[in-house]
Amino acid sequence: MRRGPSSERTIILAPVGRDAQVAAALIGEAGYQADIAGDLPTLLGEVESGAGLAVIADEAIKTADLRGMMRWLNEQPPWSDFPIVLLTRQGGGPERNPDAMRLGHILGNVTFIERPFHPTTLVSVVGSAVRGRRRQYQTRAILEHLTESESLLQTALDAGNLGALELHLPGFELEASATCKASFGRLPSEPLSYADVLASVHPDDRERRREALERAISAGTDYSIEYRNIWPDGSQHWVDVRARPVRGRDGSIASLVGVSSDITARKRAEIERETLLSQLAAERTALAELTATLEQRVEQRTADLMNEVAARERAQEQLRQAQKMETIGQLTGGVAHDFNNLLMAVMGNLELLRKRMPDDPRLHRLIHGALQGAERGASLTQRLLAFARQQDLKAEPVDLCALVKGMVELLERSLGPRVVLKLDLRQALPPARIDANQLELAVLNLAINARDAMPDGGTIEIKVSECRIDGDSTLAPGSYLELSVIDTGTGMPPEILKRAIEPFFSSKPLGKGTGLGLSMVHGLAVQLGGALQLASTLGKGTTATLLLPVATSAPMTERRVYAPQKVRRSAVILFVDDDPLIAMSTTEMLEDLGHRVIGASSGRHALDILKSDQPIDLMMTDHVMPGMTGLELAAASRQLRPSLPILLATGYAELPEGTQIDVPRLAKPYHQDHLRDRLDQLLS
C-alpha cells in the first residue's frame, strides 16, 4: 500500500444528491484530503492505491455486488483494519435497520452516521479514523522492524548451532526451538516439556543442576551449566545451557531466556584429552583458548537474544496499551453493564448467604466485608457511567455548604499534612439540585487532583457562592451555585488545559492516573444540568469550578423511609434474563421472599410462556438481551396479557430514544430489600 499524504485521504461514495460534495467540503475544511468516487469499482481502485478511510452512503452499496470489496477487506494484512463510515438515513441506524446491521457485519470496522449529520460529528469521526489509520501504519513499521530483527537473530543462532529456549515462571512452562529440542534427542515435531527435561537429566547431575537453577531464580543471576542428559533412545549426551533472568513489570523474575547447545563431542574430546594430558599439553592450551573465544562470542550473541527480545516486548506492550485504550473508549457503557450484572450476582448471593448464616459474629463480619467490597464495585461502576453520562442520579435539594463542611475530616485525611485546607462558604445560599453522594466523589476527586499538583505542599481553598447565568451561555438561563476548588500548584499550560477533560487524557506520569477523573466530574455536572469550568496559570495554580443548578424547593433534612405494604400471598413471577449468574441469584432472592419463579432465558422463550395458560402475576425482565430487549418484550406482552405488571431491571439510567412503553424500573445492582419493596408496590 502506497504511503504518503494519499494514504490518509478520505474516499467518498455518495452518488445521490449533494452528500458527497458536502462531505468533501467539510473534510477539506478540517485539513484532511478527500476525493469523490463515482461508483463502487472506482472507490475500490482508489482504496487499493492508498487511503485512510471510506465514507459511503448506504444506498450506494445496499444492492451492489460487494464481493470485490469483501475480498480486499478480508485480504488485509494483520496490522490493517480499514475504517468505513456508513451514512444512513434518519432512523436507519444498526439498532433499527437490518440492512445497516448486515452491511456492518460485511464491512467490518464500520461507524454509522445518520443523515442529516452535524458537520462536527462527521469531522470528529473522520479525524478519529485517520488517527487510527496512522496507528496502524506505525504498527506495520514496528512489525517490519521486529521481523527483520528476528531474522537476523535466527541467522546468528543458526550460525552458532545454538537452540533458543524460554522458561516461563512460576509455572515452569518451556518454549524450545527445533535446535534446542535436538539437544535433548527430540525431533522438531515432537513436544518437549520442562518435565521431559527434568526426567532426562543424568541422576549424578540432577542436584547440581537444581542448585544452579534455584540460585539463578532466587538471586537473579545468570544460569549457566553443563550436564549430561539421557535421550529417549538410551544414549548419553552433554548439553550446555545458558540463560539470563527477565523481569516483569512488577520487578519479579518472569522467565529465563537463553540458549542451549549439544556439547557431547566437546565433552568426549575433553575426556579423551585427559588420558593424553602429558603428551598433548600444548594442544590442550590451544583448545582452551579457542573454547574461551567461543564462549565470549556466545555471551556476546546472547546479550544481543536478550536486547532483541526486550525491544520486541516493549513494542508489543506499546501496541497492547494503544489497543486497550481504544477498546475502553468504545466499550465503557458495555463494561459498566456487565460489571453491574456481576455485582448483582455477588450481592444477591451474599445477602442470601447472610440470612442463612449461623449466629457467628466473625462470619457475619466476613460477609459484611464482602458486601462492602461489592458496594465499592458499584461505586466504580457509577464512575464509569458518569464518564458515559449514563448513571442513575438521585438529584434532590441539598445544602451545598453543609455538604462541604461534612467532608472536612475526609478531605484533611486525604490531602495530608503538607496541604492547608481553607473554606469560603457564603451564608444563606439556596439549595442545589444535586446527587449528594456523586457530588462528594466529584469534590474529593478535584481536591486530590489539586493536591497532586502541589508536590511540595500548598493551599487548597473551597468556595461556594451564587451566580446568575443569562441567555448568552450554553447553560439554561437561571440561578446557579458555584463550587470552586482552588490550588496554588504548578498550573497547566494552555495546550494541556484545553484537553484536560478529554477522556483518558492525563498529564500525570505513567501509572499515576487513568485520565477519567475530570471526565467523570464533567459528565456528572452536565447530567445535573450544570457544567465544569477550568482556569489555570502556569506556575500559579488552577481553579476548577462546578456550576450547579439551584433547587426550587428546600433541602431535605431527613429521608422518608418507605414502608411498603406487605404482599398477602405468594406470587407467580416470570423472570427473564439471559445471564445464568443473574438468573440463579435473582431466582433465589425471589423464592426466598416466598414467590414461585418461572425462568426464561430470552424474550422469545418468555413470549412462549405468556401464550400458554400458565397463571402469572408479574413479569420481571432484564433490558439488554440478545434477539429481543426487555422493552420489546414488554411491548409484545401487552398484546398477550394487557394487565400483567412488568418490572424492568437495567443498569442504564436512560432508555433508548423513541421508547413508546413506560414500565417501572429497578436499577442494577440491587439488594433484596430493594427488590422486595418494588415487587410489593406492583403486586399490592
Distance CA 652, CA 385 (A): 8
Kindly report the CATH number assigned to the domain that includes residue 104. Answer: 3.40.50.2300
pLDDT digits (tens, 9 = 90+) for 377-423: 666 666 555 555 455 567 889 999 999 998 888 888 888 889 999 99
The pLDDT, as a whole number, for residue 161 is: 67
pLDDT digits (tens, 9 = 90+) for 427-471: 889 999 998 888 888 898 899 889 988 989 999 999 999 998 887
Give domain status of residue 145, yes or no. no
More confident residue, 358 or 465: 465
Identify any residues that bridge with 480 across adjacent strands, giving them in sequence order. 467, 549
Q: How many CB atoms lie within 10 A of CB 195?
A: 10
Same domain? 49 vs 188 = no
Q: Give the pairing of strands 236-247 and 223-230.
A: antiparallel
Residue 322 has pLDDT above 50, yes or no: no
Question: Taking a C-beta distance cutoff of 8 angstroms, is the pair 551, 537 a contact?
Answer: no
The enclosing H or E element of 164 equals strand 163-168
Distance CA 131, CA 325 (A): 13
User: What range defines the domain where residue 84 resides?
Assistant: 5-132
Percent of the chain residues past pLDDT 70, beyond the cut? 79
Per-residue pLDDT averaged across 118-133, rounded?
87
- What are the DSSP calls for 383-419, one per residue? HHHHHHT------EEE-HHHHHHHTHHHHHHHH-TTE
Residue 193: CA count within 13 A, CB half-sphere: 5
For the chain, how many structural domains are there in total? 4
Q: Which residue has the cell 522467565?
A: 255
Same domain? 169 vs 250 = yes
Q: Which residue has the cell 433465589?
A: 588
Give domain status of residue 147, yes or no. no
Question: Taking a C-beta distance cutoff of 8 angstroms, is the pair 455, 509 a contact?
Answer: no
Same domain? 593 vs 451 = no
Burial 541-569 (b: 16+ CB within 10 A, else e): bbbbbbbbbbbeeebeeeeeeeeeeebee
Burial 260-287 (b: 16+ CB within 10 A, else e): bbbbbebbeeeeeeeeeeeeeeeeeeee
Q: How many CB atoms lie within 10 A of CB 191?
A: 9
Give domain status of residue 35, yes or no. yes
Same domain? 115 vs 203 = no
The pLDDT, as a whole number, for residue 511 is: 45
Question: Taking a C-beta distance cutoff of 8 angstroms, is the pair 515, 496 a contact?
Answer: no
Same domain? 544 vs 595 = no
User: How far, CA to CA in Å, does 247 sit from each of 163, 221, 253, 258, 630?
Assistant: 22, 12, 4, 14, 49
Report the candidate in 75, 70, 73, 102 with the shortest Cα–Cα distance to residue 86: 102
Domain termination site, one of 253, 287, 304: 304
Same domain? 99 vs 219 = no
Same domain? 624 vs 522 = no
The pLDDT, as a whole number, for residue 611 is: 94
Confidence of residue 601 (pLDDT cuts 50, 70, 90): very high
User: How far, CA to CA in Å, does 619 sit from each of 27, 178, 574, 612, 670?
Assistant: 50, 62, 5, 14, 17
Same domain? 577 vs 545 = no
Same domain? 300 vs 202 = yes
Kindly report the CATH number assigned to the domain that includes residue 204. Answer: 3.30.450.20
Give domain status of residue 451, yes or no. yes
Same domain? 239 vs 289 = yes
User: What is the pTM assigned to this prediction?
Assistant: 0.46
Residue 148 has pLDDT above 70, yes or no: no
Mean residue pLDDT of the chain comes to 81
Domain termination site, one of 83, 114, 132: 132
Domain termination site, one of 304, 322, 338: 304
Report the candidate in 355, 395, 356, 349 with the shortest Cα–Cα distance to residue 374: 349
Distance CA 622, CA 619 (A): 10
Rg of the chain taking only CA atoms, in angstroms: 34
Same domain? 49 vs 124 = yes
Give domain status of residue 603, yes or no. yes
Confidence of residue 180 (pLDDT cuts 50, 70, 90): confident
The pLDDT, as a whole number, for residue 603 is: 93
Give domain status of residue 353, yes or no. no
Give domain status of residue 335, yes or no. no
Kindly report the CATH number assigned to the domain that includes residue 491. Answer: 3.30.565.10
The pLDDT, as a whole number, for residue 488 is: 92
The pLDDT, as a whole number, for residue 579 is: 87
The pLDDT, as a whole number, for residue 4 is: 42
Q: Give the pairing of strands 53-57 and 646-650.
A: unpaired
Give domain status of residue 661, yes or no. yes
Q: What is the Cα 528 distance to its own chain's centre?
A: 26
pLDDT digits (tens, 9 = 90+) for 282-313: 666 776 777 787 778 878 887 877 888 877 77
Same domain? 50 vs 182 = no
